[in-house]
Amino acid sequence: MTYKSVTEILEAIKKKDISATEITKDYFKRIKASDDLNCFITLTEDSALNRAKKIDKDISKNNLKPLSGLPIAQKDIFCTKGVKTSCGSKMLDNFISPYDATVVDKLNEAGTIMLGKTNMDEFAMGSSNETSFYGAVKNPWDYEYVPGGSSGGSASAVAARISPCSTGTDTGGSIRQPASLCGICGLKPTYGRVSRFGMIAFASSLDQAGLFTTDALDAAILLKEISGHDPKDSTSSTVEVPNYHDYCINSDKKNFTVGIPEEFVNDLNDDVKNSFYESVKILENIGCKIKTINLKHTGLGVSAYQVVAPAECSSNLSRFDGVRYGHRSKKSESLESLYRESRSEGFGKEVKRRILVGTYALSAGYYDAYYLKAQKVRNLIAQDFSQAFEKVDLILGPTTPDKAFKIGEKMNDPIAMYLSDVYTVSTNLAGLPAMSIPMGFKEGMPLGLQIIGNHFDEKDILKLSYLYQKETDWHEQEPGA
């Protein structure tokens, strides 16, 4: 089968070159041949094929929706009606969701076919996809390396071409970081652009749903379908959703003023630096104006994030108590031991670490010293960005400090693990949209270029990515080719 992108698949289905059933069957064949990547927690083959049949019938009656017949993989953090939704945790290993998340609902409404639920770090806490109850996911470029996290299964699946696209969530980098390490596109929209309803909460003021694709146009097509106000999520925005795809193709905007923060490039190793400045040259040739800028407080991003995110998670995860749903210990003898044993058995090490840190940071006497201070730093970081966006249209940097690391390498060093998010967390603290696109390789492993935009300026991020991808073919490289 020669269809590679979302765009090509939709085109082929529309022209009736291929049926939804054929394309769905083809992807399940690919998934089964790549079983050892461990990308999926649950496959939904029967329901996918039934749905494909129904969509084919609709298509034969010329009833075509924007994404009719497009296979997609859903991160297992999104509730899916009648299908196990584990969030990568033993705590929810037995949880069958009674409803669909809004993202899932909208994608279904648009005509997609869900292939299954992808593996992820437990409750989206991690940068390597090694904290999953279902085992580590592998990087298709080299099975000894991590795919990044927490949306590692979704990223690895798109990179391995066993799903043309997938969903992810990004609280501190979990879409962009794995996209970078796997050599694909990962888009984290503005906070509030996409509904969080039915997306299992990690840190509610930072969490945002987004997408993995192989190129910018595909991301543009999908973003339109998942965006928009949702009455079920009061933090979702009423800002109008533009036609991102048409904007990419039709607008003649290309002379963007692009800011490069010194704080993002000063400490880079030579390989990443070289790839990055090669990309900058390409953008200059397109017509972009490059400016050096400063984001003075972003160096404090990881510290602030590692207080705010655990604080919110300690509150969000208190609902998992073994009473209404989720894992319940068989050892419990009293109400208190029911809570204690269920939570001790249900949560993994990293989740427990975050809950402990968060509870500590919020406790009386420490609140001012940690949580309040972190919130102040968060404000300063947001101010840095708003001042920068008075001078530039977009901000450019690497997505990660280095290529992927080896499975096991950072598991006993949480600080080293947290530092792999050094260039991604600040945008979450500021609620800004950002995207990682492939920009080259180091020793055979992909590197990512990060483009950050002002609030609700996903269209220009996508446009610049589209222009860059017209000049380069990094995004067309496939593992094992």
Residues 192-221 that bind ligand GLN (CB under 6 A): 202
- The verdict on whether 32 is a catalytic residue reads no
Q: Which stretch binds ligand GLN (CB under 6 A): 102-110, 167-175, 335-343, 449-457?
A: 167-175
Q: What's the min distance (Å) between Cβ of 283 and ligand GLN?
A: 27
- The verdict on whether 14 is a catalytic residue reads no
CA distances from 361 to 122, 148, 378, 432 (A): 21, 27, 15, 25
Nearer to ligand GLN, 126 or 398 (CB): 126
Task: Show the binding pattern over residues 417-436: x = contacts ligand GLN (CB under 6 A), - = does not.
Answer: ----x---------------
Q: What's the min distance (Å) between Cβ of 57 and ligand GLN?
A: 39
Task: Show the binding pattern over residues 123-152: x = contacts ligand GLN (CB under 6 A), - = does not.
Answer: -xxxx----------------------x--
Nearer to ligand GLN, 44 or 169 (CB): 169
68, 150, 166, 227: which one is catalytic?
A: 150
34, 68, 75, 163: which one is catalytic?
A: 75
Q: What's the min distance (Å) between Cβ of 86 and ligand GLN?
A: 15
Q: What's the min distance (Å) between Cβ of 312 and ligand GLN?
A: 11
How many residues lie near ligand GLN (CB under 6 A)?
13
Q: Which stretch binds ligand GLN (CB under 6 A): 22-30, 172-180, 209-217, 369-377?
A: 172-180
Nearer to ligand GLN, 415 or 481 (CB): 415
- Of 102, 129, 139, 171, the residue at the interface with ligand GLN (CB under 6 A) is 171
Q: What's the min distance (Å) between Cβ of 125 and ligand GLN?
A: 5
User: Position of tokens 């040739």?
Assistant: 285
Nearest to 67 by CA among 58, 75, 76: 58
Q: Give a three-class secondary structure readout of the chain.
A: CCCCCHHHHHHHHHCCCCCHHHHHHHHHHHHHHCHHHCCEEEECHHHHHHHHHHHHHHHHCCCCCCCCCCEEEEECCECCCCCECCCCCHHHCCCECCCCCHHHHHHHHCCCEEEEEECCCHHHCCCCCCCCCCCCCCECCECCECCCCCCHHHHHHHHCCCCCCEEEECCCCCCHHHHHHHCCEEEECCCCCECCCCECCCCCCCCCEEEEECCHHHHHHHHHHHECCECCECCCCCCCCCCHHHHHHHCCCCCCEEEEEHHHHCCCCHHHHHHHHHHHHHHHHHCCEEEEECCHHHHHHHHHHHHHHHHHHHHHHHHCCCCCCCCCCCCCCCHHHHHHHHHHHHCCHHHHHHHHHHHHHHCCCCCHHHHHHHHHHHHHHHHHHHHHHHHCCEEEEECCCCCCCECCCCCCCHHHHHHCCCCCHHHHHHCCCEEEEEEEEECCEEEEEEEEECCCCHHHHHHHHHHHHHHCCHHHCCCCC
Nearer to ligand GLN, 31 or 77 (CB): 77
- The verdict on whether 174 is a catalytic residue reads yes
Residues 289-318 that bind ligand GLN (CB under 6 A): 309
Q: What's the min distance (Å) between Cβ of 152 and ligand GLN?
A: 11
Q: What's the min distance (Å) between Cβ of 209 and ligand GLN?
A: 11
CB atoms within 10 A of CB 16: 10
Task: Show the binding pattern over residues 106-125: x = contacts ligand GLN (CB under 6 A), - = does not.
Answer: ------------------xx
Nearer to ligand GLN, 31 or 209 (CB): 209
Q: What's the min distance (Å) between Cβ of 70 and ligand GLN?
A: 25
Q: What's the min distance (Å) between Cβ of 445 and ligand GLN?
A: 19
- Of 76, 122, 130, 170, the residue at the interface with ligand GLN (CB under 6 A) is 170
Q: What does the alpha-carbon distance between residue 173 and residue 344 come to, in Å, rounded to a whole number?
A: 27
Q: Which stretch binds ligand GLN (CB under 6 A): 34-42, 165-173, 231-239, 329-337?
A: 165-173
- Of 24, 34, 85, 174, the residue at the interface with ligand GLN (CB under 6 A) is 174
Nearer to ligand GLN, 124 or 241 (CB): 124
Task: Show the binding pattern over residues 18-37: x = contacts ligand GLN (CB under 6 A), - = does not.
Answer: --------------------
97, 151, 163, 174: which one is catalytic?
A: 174
Residue 4 φ/ψ, nearest 5 degrees: -110, -35
Q: What does the alpha-carbon distance between residue 341 and residue 311 come to, in Å, rounded to a whole number?
A: 22
Q: Which residues pair with 437 in a beta bridge?
A: 449
Q: Does 172 bind ligand GLN (CB under 6 A)?
A: yes
Phi-psi region of 94 (alpha: psi -120 to 50; beta: other; left: phi over 0): alpha
The footprint of ligand GLN (CB under 6 A) covers 124-127, 150, 170-174, 202, 309, 421
- Residues assigned a catalytic role: 75, 150, 174
